[in-house]
Chain A
Amino acid sequence: MRAKFEYLAPTSLDEVCALLQEHEGDAKLLAGGTALVMWLRMGLLSPGYVIDLENVPGLDGITYDPADGLRIGAGVKHRDLELCPEVREHYPLLQETFYKVAQPRIRLMATVGGNLSHGDPMTDPGASFMALDAEVTLRSSRGERTVSVEDFFVDYYETALEPDEILTSIHVPPPAGPAWSHIKFTPRSEEDFATVGVAVTLTGTSSRCDDARIALNSVGPTIFRARAAEDVLRGRDLSPARIEEAGAAAADASDPIEDVRGSSDYKRDLTAVFVHRALEQAAARLG
């Protein structure tokens, strides 16, 4: 372990906020630990204080209401979201996405709020939350605010969280329609990070798309919405030519880095193919 820090274990959200304010910029929140502890081990982060959220009430629970939608406590584990009956029934896109994150033991440890707060452009959940028009609640001693997931991701590993803020919950509106898709390509093994990940929701019919939301991960400095690709579809048909055009528009909007998962050009080409496939899959669900 490279990083040296003091370990703090508060027992209320107010206490967490006070500690974040007191040690502003020098404290990191610990939830599941799957990202943070790895970064501390490697010395990529060296905060003076690590604030453990394990004993903090008010960050758990998943509630579903047909009028309000889904509310997910930031401390909910990936595995619990994946296995939640209401999620399975009303938000199959989320169930599919979380089921495919890493492997079961990581999903047992990693939290939904921790994943988003980490701001990692390579992870899948943010794209699906974005495709579902979700928002997050951020809290500090100064008060509470909500930010759309789309605006939450600011830059490479940078989110809208201020140093004194904690993400407390995620709100997903009632599902708009039955048409969705989540697909990704994992190059080395199934639990690997994706070369490209695509989350799509569609409303309308196959002859006329009312609305489309297309979100991508792993192919830019942040998880992002491919708005130009959505514009290709909105108010138009979902013909094979149109879907191909949308795939090309999404690839244009991508800005992938070259790494072990492929060159920039390869990832851009793959983006076009995977957006195309995801749209075909979602369009088939429109009936």
Chain B
Amino acid sequence: MKREMVLNVNGEEHDVEIEPNRLLLEALREDVGLTGTKEGCSIGVCGACSVIVDGRLVSACLTLAAACEGKKIETIEGLARDGELHPLQRAFVQFGGFQCGICTPGQIMAAKALLDHNPNPTTDQVKEWMSANLCRCTGYYKILESVMAVVEGKVDEGRRDEAVRQARIQSLYQSDTYKSNASD
């Protein structure tokens, strides 16, 4: 049976009338009308539907909208302020962090969730965290570079010296993401 409820998305309250089995993904796209959040795999693997609910990163495809009543939902549409893109958005533009763009809203929301909790992550921490977001254009190092540009305050510096850039990509390749962090 449909129920009326209020969803707080990007600081704005939206009245929706939805079934209990409505997914947050469907509610955002079809009831609230914010289509920036994408559906990819539908089973929580790809990260295209990543949004932030009460400060925690979630897959909107595995979250019931009814469970988000009274919570603060953040989506890609909420990042730009007064026509100015969020630093993460600017970084993805400046550093080529996307190609086709389908995964990009999820990539940026995932990165935001990380930086909200830890503004100074290491390259390995960024790699580990962002491993939950797939990019089928395989632009992973550009994505990593974009996120690290925000971490290191390099956004808006313009096109950097090519030699510096190459050295930087080299260092990103050399850091070891998948080493276990367990202590022996």
Residues of A in contact with B (beta carbons under 8 Å apart): 1, 3-7, 9, 30, 33-34, 37-38, 40-41, 50, 52, 54, 88, 92, 95-96, 99-100, 103-106, 108-109, 190-191, 285
Contact = CB atoms under 8 A, between A and B. Distances in A.
22 contacts: A3-B21, A4-B20, A6-B20, A7-B64, A33-B62, A38-B43, A38-B62, A41-B61, A50-B64, A52-B64, A103-B45, A103-B132, A104-B57, A105-B44, A105-B58, A105-B59, A105-B110, A105-B132, A108-B56, A108-B57, A191-B131, A191-B132
Nearest to B130: A104
Contacts of B50: 105
A30 B58 contact: no
A33 B129 CA distance: 20
Contact of B23 (A1, A34, A108, A190): A1
B105 interface: no
Contacts of B129: 104
Nearest to B133: A105
A108 B58 contact: yes
B116 to A, nearest CB: 13
B146 to A, nearest CB: 18
A176 to B, nearest CB: 18
Given A37-B63, A191-B45, A109 B58 contact: yes
Contacts of A3: 21
Given A4-B19, A105-B50, A105-B110, 20 more contacts: A1-B26, A5-B21, A6-B20, A7-B20, A9-B66, A30-B64, A33-B67, A34-B59, A37-B61, A38-B62, A41-B43, A88-B182, A88-B183, A92-B183, A104-B132, A105-B132, A105-B133, A106-B44, A109-B56, A190-B178
B132 A285 contact: no
A213 B133 CA distance: 36
A30 B67 contact: yes
B77 interface: no
B178 A104 contact: no
Contacts of A38: 43-44, 62
Nearest to B19: A4
